[in-house]
Amino acid sequence: MSDTRETNVLPPWEKLLQRLHLNEGSLSVSESQMLFLRAITDLREDTKGALAKTVITVPRLMPLQASFLVKSTAEAITLLETNLGRKKAVGLLNSAFLHRLTTTKTYTEKRLPAEERKRQDKYEYAICFPVGDRATGFQFIFLAKEELAHNDEVFLKLVRNILTLRHQQSLLREEINREAESLTLLTHHLSEGMAVLNQDMKVTLWNRPMQRLSGYSPREAVGQPYQAVFKRTDAEDWLGQLMNVYLETPLRNVFNTQFEIVTREGTRRWVDVSGSFMRRPTDNTISQTIIIVRDVSHLKMLEQRKNEFISIATHELRTPITAIKGYLSLLHKDQENLTDKQRTYLGRANDANHRLARLAEDLLRTVQVEEDRLRINLRPVELGPILEKITRDLQEKAKAKQLTLEYVAAPFDTWVTADEEKIEQVFANLIDNAIKYTSQGYVRVFTDRFEENGQSFIIVHVQDTGIGINPKNYEAIFEKFRRTHDTAEIRESGAGLGLFIVKSFVEKQGGKISVNSRIGNGTTFSVRLQATESPKPLHDNAFHKENQPKQKGARHE
């Protein structure tokens, strides 16, 4: 919450002058008067806004040169007494500020030496403000009578204005502090963990539920780097890394992720973390991060059990599928000895087994996708070269079916925020599917760009002239397990991912997928992704690209 405070500090000297419709040149004040004004304006460095600053005005003239730092209220009193005389000093000490700091001190009448009294006549103004976080000292600045020679009016007006502003400001700050306190109190009663981090990724707010989750109390956590009190088991500075990615995409601020943490006591638990980066309006840099944390260990355990079960069951399924496939293929080799009817039955049994095999593979991949979910690595990616490569790789397959496969190169930048590997799989799959379901005509890949609510998007269309999809099935084709298979659609299952997985990948990368089709009139799949700036000069990227594929291929195969 340091930010809110900062914004309420009295504006710096230049801004203040603007507010008072003045500029420095037009001020006919002496140098020491100027120093005095600046001093009472620019106090924030000393006080960090921890305590309201108070200014005492003394109804007599004083010299600026007299500037003192005192360490206790007693010293302050002595100082005031010596400089102003006891009467005025007591008057001052009764003012709001010093009053609450001088509850124990009593004053005894004391005659001041003659030369001290003489000095008293010289002073007109003094300011006093606490120094340090918890007012460990008080700074006094006195202004001499001579300083107010001929331009009293302007000077006094300025002093009054500044003092008024300061007073208003201190009231405001007190109110803000009170509100902040009650807000913090509120956060303790949330059911979810909540933490706020400053720009250095240090904790500024840590509610009680966070203590249950992490083992660290608010008192222990505040002021610590977040990694010290919220330890992810598989990555050190995950938030810092995430922040670097988001800094490249200035329009995105919200994130959601799940991972395992280890608590102070050494227990491991899965957490769901939603968060948001707050940016400075001036330069878009991140000033604060808010995270909301939920314990999902129980859900995670159930999910893992479910995945394990599906995984084992599917591997078991593959054995009878292998045997059926094998024997059917032996029968098929022998088909001259079969009747037409038997051959038809054989074909149908084969189709059914294909379907069973595909279902098993879909199931396995679904589990894999769920396990892969955390491994999405978002960064700026250039779509053009990726689409070009995929269409090149699939050219042969298209030719075998006498289809035209073309990529219409975009006349604009195609940088988007995505996971390079996964986005390649998405388009490879869509294009491969398009070829699969098209028996004549073409498959065309082209791009579009558009703006919405100040955000830029790139859309990639994969258009085919294939059998098409019934609009009432638009939703169903993206479902986890497609219930309805049009027999006409059944083809080789191949190694492609299901559309559910394509959709899931696209959405995990912050994108959207849609489909437009008419039965017998072709299908167009459109993938919308968030555009981003090219991160480096273009020639640099060309170099980068050339060096990349090898390593990536190795990971893939």
Partner 1 sequence: MSKTVLLVEDEPLLIDLYEERFKEEDFELKTAETGEDALKVAEQGGVDLILLDILLPGINGFEVLRRLKSNIETRDIPVIVLTNLGSEQSDKDKQLALSLGAIDYLVKSYHTPDEMVEIIQKRLESNS
**Which residues lie near partner 1 (CB under 8 A)?**
315, 318-323, 325-327, 329-330, 333, 357, 360, 364, 495, 555-557
How many other C-beta atoms lie within 10 A of the C-beta of residue 69?
Answer: 11
Closer residue to partner 1, CB minimum distance, 105 or 556 = 556
Alpha helices in 401-556 (DSSP H): 420-436, 499-508, 538-556
Question: What does the alpha-carbon distance between residue 187 and residue 387 come to, in Å, rounded to a whole number?
Answer: 48
Burial track 124-148 (b if 16+ CB lie within 10 A, e otherwise) = bbbbbbbbeeebebbbbbbbbeebb
Question: What does the alpha-carbon distance between residue 527 and residue 274 come to, in Å, rounded to a whole number?
Answer: 25
Closer residue to partner 1, CB minimum distance, 105 or 348 = 348
Please state the closest distance from residue 173 (CB atom) to partner 1, in A. Answer: 57
Please state the closest distance from residue 335 (CB atom) to partner 1, in A. Answer: 14
Please state the closest distance from residue 268 (CB atom) to partner 1, in A. Answer: 21
Please state the closest distance from residue 9 (CB atom) to partner 1, in A. Answer: 55
Closer residue to partner 1, CB minimum distance, 333 or 483 = 333
Closer residue to partner 1, CB minimum distance, 194 or 394 = 394
Closer residue to partner 1, CB minimum distance, 336 or 451 = 336
Please state the closest distance from residue 362 (CB atom) to partner 1, in A. Answer: 12
How many other C-beta atoms lie within 10 A of the C-beta of residue 52?
Answer: 20
Please state the closest distance from residue 462 (CB atom) to partner 1, in A. Answer: 21
**Contacts for 111-120 with beta carbons within 8 Å, 24 or more apart?**
112/81, 112/82, 112/85, 112/86, 116/82, 117/85, 119/82, 119/83, 120/60, 120/83, 120/84, 120/85
Alpha helices in 189-285 (DSSP H): 208-214, 218-221, 226-229, 238-247
Question: What does the alpha-carbon distance between residue 533 and residue 414 come to, in Å, rounded to a whole number?
Answer: 9
Closer residue to partner 1, CB minimum distance, 321 or 460 = 321
Closer residue to partner 1, CB minimum distance, 277 or 505 = 505
Query: Burial, 537: exposed, middle or buried (Cβ in 10 Å; 0-12, 13-18, 19+)?
Result: exposed
Q: How far is CA 81 from the centre of its chain?
A: 55
Q: Please, which residues bridge with residue 288 across strands?
A: 278
Please state the closest distance from residue 316 (CB atom) to partner 1, in A. Answer: 8
Closer residue to partner 1, CB minimum distance, 12 or 320 = 320
Scanning the structure block, which residue is given the tokens 């849609």? 514
Scanning the structure block, which residue is given the tokens 């006891």? 86
Please state the closest distance from residue 346 (CB atom) to partner 1, in A. Answer: 14
